[in-house]
Amino acid sequence: MSKETEASSAAIWLYAFGYFAAYAPYAALTKALTSGMLGMEPRTGPEILPLSTAASLIGMIVFLSAKGWWRFATQRSLFGRSVPSPTQLTLISGLATAAVIGTTTLSYTIRGTSILVMMLFMRGGVLVLAPLVDLLSRRKVRWQAWAALGLSLIALIIGAGDGDTQVGGLGLFVIILYLASYFVRLRLMSTQAKSSDPDQGRRFFVEEQMVATPAIALFLGVAALIGGSEAFLQIGRGYHDVGGATNVALIIAIGVFSQFTGIFGALVLLDGRENSFCVPVNRASSVLAGLVGSTALWLLADAKQIPPRELFGALLLILAIVLLAVSPKARPASAPPAKA
């Protein structure tokens, strides 16, 4: 293996650490603010979305500009100037990513449902999707992936088995939309971006990023103008009333951390290896970050202690992740030819 290939193989672990480092404060701050912990003035999930999304949008522009990655995007002529633009498929993936970001934020604002309960369903569900997407993409799925699938299903059953666990209609809708969006995204990554050419992956990454956050911002603006439902009215309030300066600072921080979870999480998934390897690495970071976030809220904000059942389910997911991560021959593989 060349030094360049070795560096590429090691990069996924640096991206995974970045994902973890951004995810833990993102999850904890979102839960704390929407639950009124630490003396904060509570705000609902829809109310924090306008400002947090604006912060995410600025974070995305700053990151891509600082890296100089705009040049990797497809260029189109607009009024005589060359501007970066998504293709039809990266547009679809970007919209799916927008749905993932939105549902992730909302999942931490559902009162009566802990971070780990939603994480077990959402993160575990994506872990289950990984080998299925690999099969559809004609990638070899090792036995470790199927073993991880079984462990994940057990974790989900345990997570749902306690009568005290409340998911409800909103939680179920969030989970279904999240998993459907991830399926579309992983499928498109497999056919369009996972290859030995790093520029192809960067092109997909940039075009997906430049669609996702602006799409959320556009949706929020339209929802605020339409009004009507309580959720849309709450979004409207988020444009002019989010509480005092402390709330504003926290919501901006949530938006920035959210954007960096999207950046580092996407870079993990775009690694050239099969989804059955990349997804568990991605999920490991989020599960561990969720444990850290929940523990921090328990210690610092008098939040509910993590039930042993939820810890056991999370440990099963981590075991599935370790099983895949240490499996042999986990080298970057070439993707099938990209479809036009």
Residue 1 pLDDT > 50: no
Q: Strand runs (DSSP E) across the chain, as ranges?
A: 74-78, 81-85
pLDDT surpassing 50 at residue 124: yes
Does this model's pTM top 0.95? My answer is: no
- The C-alpha atoms of residue 256 and residue 241 are separated, in whole angstroms, by 20
CA distance 235 to 193: 35
pLDDT average, residue stretch 277-298: 80
Model confidence at 57: pLDDT above 90: yes
Contact of 267 with 22, CB cutoff 8 Å? no
Q: Which residue has the higher pLDDT, 306 or 279?
A: 279
**Extents of the domains making up the chain:** 14-325
Beta strands 81-85 and 74-78, pairing class = antiparallel
Note the pLDDT tens digit of each residue in 71-95. Answer: 999 988 888 888 899 999 999 999 9
- Output the average pLDDT for the chain: 81
Please tell me the predicted confidence (pLDDT) of residue 279. 86
The pLDDT-based confidence of 107 (bands split at 50, 70, 90) is confident
Asked whether the beta carbons of 121 and 127 are under 8 A apart, the reply is no
Of 78-82, 188-192, 282-286, the range with the highest mean pLDDT is 188-192
pLDDT of 3 strictly over 80: no
- What amino acid is encoded at 24 in this protein? A
Confidence of residue 231 (pLDDT cuts 50, 70, 90): confident
Q: How far apart (Å, rounded) are the C-alpha atoms in residues 19 and 285? A: 6
Looking at residue 148, its pLDDT comes to 76
Alpha-carbon gap, residue 103 to 301, rounded angstroms: 24
pLDDT at 283: 79
Distance of CA 124 to the CA centre of its chain: 13
Task: Name the amino acid, one letter, at 302.
Answer: D
Give me the pLDDT at residue 218, please: 93
Q: How confident is the model at residue 222 (pLDDT cuts 50, 70, 90)?
A: very high
DSSP 143-201: HHHHHHHHHHHHHHHHHHH-TT---HHHHHHHHHHHHHHHHHHHHHHHHHT-SS-HHHH
Residue 281 has pLDDT above 60, yes or no: yes
Q: What is the DSSP letter of 78?
A: E
Top-ranked range on mean pLDDT: pick from 101-115, 120-134, 154-168, 294-308:
120-134
Is residue 48's pLDDT more than 50? yes
Sign of the dihedral defined by the CA atoms of residues 175, 291, 102, 167, in that order: positive
Asked if 322 contacts 54 with a C-beta cutoff of 8 angstroms, the reply is: no
- How far CA 261 is from CA of 26, 28, 254, 265, in Å, comes to 8, 13, 10, 6
Q: Is pLDDT above 60 for 50?
A: yes
CA-nearest of 318, 234, 335 to 282 is: 318
- Nearest partner of 162 among 331, 309, 308, 272, judged by Cα: 309
| Mean pLDDT of all residues in 40-45 | 76
What is the predicted pLDDT for the residue at 174? 87
Alpha helices in 108-142, H assignment, sequence order: 115-136
